[in-house]
Amino acid sequence: MAAHLPEADPETLAAGVSVDVTPDVAARVEAVAAPFVERLIAAPVGSAAFRRAVTAIDGLGDREIRATTEIARNFQERPARALKGLLGEGAPLSRNLARLRKAVETLARAPSEMDRAEGLVRQVVEALDGNRQTLEEDNAAIAQQEVALWREIQALREYAVLAARIDQLLDERIASLAATDPAHSRGLADEAQFSIRRRRRDLLLQLAVATQGYAALRVIEQDNLEVIWAIRAATTTTATALRAAMLVRGAMADSTLAGKADLAGWKRAWSDVLGAVDQVDVRKRRTLEEMAKPALAERSPRRVGPPQRS
């Protein structure tokens, strides 16, 4: 029966994810594994008690496997969809950035347009603040999914450790029975040990998928935060430029050297705004590129730590 197992054995899978547990979890695992193996050994192979034990093995971590799959699916549907709808080309944020860029470029070239463009700039800044608030709400949803997924990862890890310990204890008993009761030993190996190794493999595979999915959520959340920070910087820089423009507008009417210096400062202030807008564009593209990578369930495993709020 072992020939039906895929090439990726449990030890290979375990090398890609963290299965370290705290001493209290290890003690809890031992308290479950040891008596379970004793009951399994005591039950005749093929008996009702033996089948119940094998069924219990096959069900290890079922709820956690379903939960992690559901979390990944929920993220692909929302808030991922909401983020793409806000950050994509033609979305409100992109349109507002384009409007701000156009107005600022006009002001940098023609200070005389200040009276006409000032209201538009303030309107766009207010709209960008609204975009930022929407992103913050979506990031809060991502953070909640991170916490939920981390909780399931912890449970999956404990089940994987439990399966490994049952396998170890069972392997020792199978070896000891090989000389005195070879039929019982073979039955345990063919039925119970095969089941526990298959289940451990499944748990480790799901743990690897969930761990990488969690890492992907963390990356997207951080990229999203950088978009939020860049929007805040752009609106702050624009507000500063508007205040400066109000102060120098009168002085720029002077044709003296001081007036020329004011003109240089005017252009520099709006250039800073354009630079801030460029940063928003760069960071939102980075987030979209990250989200365009393979689905969470298709990414390779990586070691990660628990949620840490920024």
| Amino acid at residue number 126 | E
96 in any annotated domain? yes
Q: Is the pTM of this model over 0.85?
A: no
213 in any annotated domain? yes
259 or 32, higher pLDDT? 32
Q: Which pLDDT does position 166 carry in this prediction?
A: 96
Average pLDDT, the chain: 83
CB contact set of 36 (below 8 Å; sequence gap of 6+) = 53, 56, 166
203 or 83, higher pLDDT? 203
Q: Which pLDDT does position 1 carry in this prediction?
A: 31
305 in any annotated domain? no
Residue 278 has pLDDT above 70, yes or no: yes
d(CA 200, CA 270): 60
Average pLDDT of span 44-52: 94
Q: Which pLDDT does position 305 carry in this prediction?
A: 54
Q: Which pLDDT does position 302 carry in this prediction?
A: 42
Residue 84 near residue 225, CB atoms below 8 Å:
no
Structural domains counted in the chain = 1
Lowest mean pLDDT of 73-77, 97-101, 219-223, name the range: 73-77
Question: Domain range spanning residue 15?
Answer: 9-298
Lowest mean pLDDT of 22-31, 109-118, 142-151, 299-308, name the range: 299-308
Q: Which residue has 């559901």 as its token pair?
A: 70
**DSSP for 82-118?**
HHHHHHSTTSHHHHHHHHHHHHHHHHHH-GGGHHHHH
Residue 173 has pLDDT above 90, yes or no: yes
pLDDT tier at 16 (50, 70, 90 boundaries)? low
pLDDT tier at 4 (50, 70, 90 boundaries)? very low
DSSP 188: I
Average pLDDT of span 28-40: 95
303 in any annotated domain? no
Residue 301 has pLDDT above 60, yes or no: no
2 in any annotated domain? no
pLDDT tier at 300 (50, 70, 90 boundaries)? very low
Q: Which pLDDT does position 35 carry in this prediction?
A: 96
Average pLDDT of span 25-46: 94
Other CB atoms within a 10 A radius of the CB of residue 308 amount to 7
d(CA 132, CA 126): 10
d(CA 243, CA 72): 46
Q: Which residue has 């449970």 as its token pair?
A: 155
d(CA 71, CA 155): 15
Residue 251 has pLDDT above 70, yes or no: no
Residue 169 near residue 37, CB atoms below 8 Å:
yes
81 in any annotated domain? yes
Quick one: tokens of 169? 């204890």
d(CA 251, CA 288): 44
Average pLDDT of span 16-36: 86
3 in any annotated domain? no
Q: Nearest Cα to 71, choosing from 310, 301, 295, 302?
A: 295
Distant-in-sequence contacts of 143-147, Cβ < 8 A, 24+ apart: 143/221, 143/307, 143/309, 145/71, 145/74, 145/75, 145/217, 146/214, 146/217, 146/218, 146/221, 146/307, 147/307
118 in any annotated domain? yes
204 or 84, higher pLDDT? 204
Q: Which pLDDT does position 5 carry in this prediction?
A: 37
Residue 178 has pLDDT above 70, yes or no: yes
Residue 70 has pLDDT above 80, yes or no: yes
Q: Which pLDDT does position 10 carry in this prediction?
A: 55
